[in-house]
């Protein structure tokens, strides 16, 4: 809907260069808003100045607005929603909006603006929903702390990324966001902290001298001129989580599930039957594991990967690699199933959101990250960054990797320590009566138990040519 931008000045002597830099950021912000723009600056004595226009800004648009006394500035580039179209705009229709004590720039929609207006008797001269926010803060935000702001802001329904200035405290800015983005960059040469809706608008190019970071969704943040940052979670975290564990019936996901259970979380196993060679054996294993752990499980039957194809792990799609006693199959993704973990976790997130789970987890681990990109810890980190934009407003589904930092023999060791039902697991890519002993997972499994000096509790085929792991 808009671009919100701001700057907190640390080195006032650089105000001209900071103004020039901020003007560039505001000009870039037209990418997310072309109907109008506005800038309000706040001086150290609480005085304000502004420029507002129904055109797009250029890098020279705000020249001369900053002075040596300027402490901060906030700006808005508006993309006017269809539901709030104003054909003949005046300055009163242009953000940022201002009240006696507060200046606010807002990106998003406030769905209950009329109720807020009536409840707090807020004078409003525009139909733009964001105009109620400064008056709302005058009425509600009496404590002045970032903690009380995080509590009070919950009354607003809708989407928001806000940069807030308090005229009585011009040495700091406040930022509040749900799923709308805010990025922050500290330019240590200029001595200023910049904020904007996209990191591209803060980009310095190849000679970047700023530390650019994304503020975490669903947080309220306070930043002052001493570069002190306070952050409060808007949704809160439950110590004991409800976790949906994507579980194949193999070692990794079974140990991951057992670990979460031992830590006191409530878990449900989620298993996918996707027409792979070991489908029947894995289904049998996961049912036994769920009974042993005394937890619920959910099965999803899908023909999706049969339609996609392209993997020898699927029935009728070719032979499993067994070279070099199974080591070759363990060290390269010969049996890669296109985007499998992404698909599974996406479905798990959807089920978790619908059924009220706090998190999803899997057996993603460091060992298989050597061959499979979707086992890399970075994959899970990026999924967590994506998750707030994949679920509904004011909801959170975390993506956990309980064994993400472990290799196979460490997973076996942890499973033994936790009393995980390793004897019930199925690791083999094939679906025979016993583990084949020569595919990649069989090789890693046998090696991992041998390193721990423990006999593997599952049986292997005793066919001619099956190697002994040394």
As given in the structure block, the two tokens for residue 407 are 């290799």
At 367 the three-state DSSP class reads coil
Cβ proximity of 436 and 445 under 8 Å: no
Catalytic residue, from 2, 428, 439, 442: name it. 2
Rounded Cα gap, residues 103 and 135, in angstroms: 10
**Cis status, amide bond into 96, omega within 30 of 0:** yes
2 bridge partner residues:
78
Helix axes 440-451, 408-418, angle to 10 degrees: 60
At 40 the three-state DSSP class reads strand
As given in the structure block, the two tokens for residue 299 are 């099965």
As given in the structure block, the two tokens for residue 341 are 């973990």
Looking at 295-453, which runs of residues are DSSP E strands?
Answer: 296-301, 359-361, 398-400
Other C-beta atoms lying within 10 Å of the C-beta of residue 123: 9
At 13 the three-state DSSP class reads helix
Measure CA 250 to chain center. 28
As given in the structure block, the two tokens for residue 357 are 């789970």
2 is catalytic: yes
Please identify every residue annotated as catalytic: 2
């Amino acid at each position: 809907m808009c671009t919100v931008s701001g700057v907190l000045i640390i080195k006032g002597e650089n105000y001209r260069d900071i103004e020039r830099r901020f003007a560039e950021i505001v000009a870039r912000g037209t990418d997310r808003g072309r109907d109008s723009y506005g800038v309000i600056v706040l001086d150290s004595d609480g005085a304000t100045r502004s420029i507002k226009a129904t055109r797009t800004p250029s890098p020279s648009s705000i020249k001369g607005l900053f002075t040596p006394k300027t402490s901060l500035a906030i700006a808005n580039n508006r993309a006017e929603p269809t539901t709030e179209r104003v054909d003949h705009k005046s300055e009163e229709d242009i953000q940022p909006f201002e009240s006696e004590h507060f200046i606010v720039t807002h990106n998003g929609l406030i769905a209950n603006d009329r109720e807020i207006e009536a409840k707090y008797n807020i004078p409003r001269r525009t139909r733009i929903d964001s105009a109620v926010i400064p008056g709302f803060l005058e009425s509600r935000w009496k404590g002045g702390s970032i903690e009380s702001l995080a509590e009070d802001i919950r009354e607003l329904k809708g989407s928001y990324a806000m940069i807030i200035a308090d005229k009585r405290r011009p040495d700091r800015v406040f930022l509040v966001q749900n799923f709308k983005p805010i990025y922050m960059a500290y330019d240590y040469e200029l001595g200023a902290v910049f904020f904007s809706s996209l990191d591209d608008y803060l980009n310095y190019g190849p000679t970047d001298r700023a530390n650019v970071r994304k503020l975490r969704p669903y947080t309220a943040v306070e930043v002052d001129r001493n570069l002190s940052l306070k952050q409060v979670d808007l949704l809160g975290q439950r110590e004991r989580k409800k976790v949906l564990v994507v579980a194949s019936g193999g070692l990794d996901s079974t140990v991951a599930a057992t670990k979460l259970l031992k830590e006191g979380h409530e878990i449900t196993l989620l298993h996918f039957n996707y027409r792979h060679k070991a489908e029947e054996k894995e289904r049998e294993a996961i049912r036994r594991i769920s009974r042993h752990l005394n937890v619920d499980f959910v099965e999803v039957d899908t023909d999706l990967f049969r339609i996609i194809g392209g993997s020898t792990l699927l029935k009728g799609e070719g032979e499993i690699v067994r070279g070099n006693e199974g080591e070759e199959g363990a060290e390269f993704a010969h049996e890669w199933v296109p985007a499998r973990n992404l698909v599974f976790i996406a479905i798990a997130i959807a089920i978790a959101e619908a059924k009220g789970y706090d998190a999803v987890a899997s057996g993603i681990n460091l060992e298989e990250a050597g061959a499979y990109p979707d086992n890399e810890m970075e994959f899970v980190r990026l999924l967590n960054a994506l998750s707030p934009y994949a679920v509904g407003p004011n909801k959170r589904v975390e993506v956990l990797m309980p064994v993400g930092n472990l290799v196979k023999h460490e997973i076996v060791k942890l499973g033994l320590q936790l009393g995980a039902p390793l004897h019930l697991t199925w690791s083999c890519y094939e679906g025979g009566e016993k583990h084949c002993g020569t595919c990649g997972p069989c090789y890693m499994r046998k090696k991992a138990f041998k390193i721990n000096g423990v006999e593997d509790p599952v049986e292997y085929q005793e066919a001619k040519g099956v190697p002994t792991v040394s």
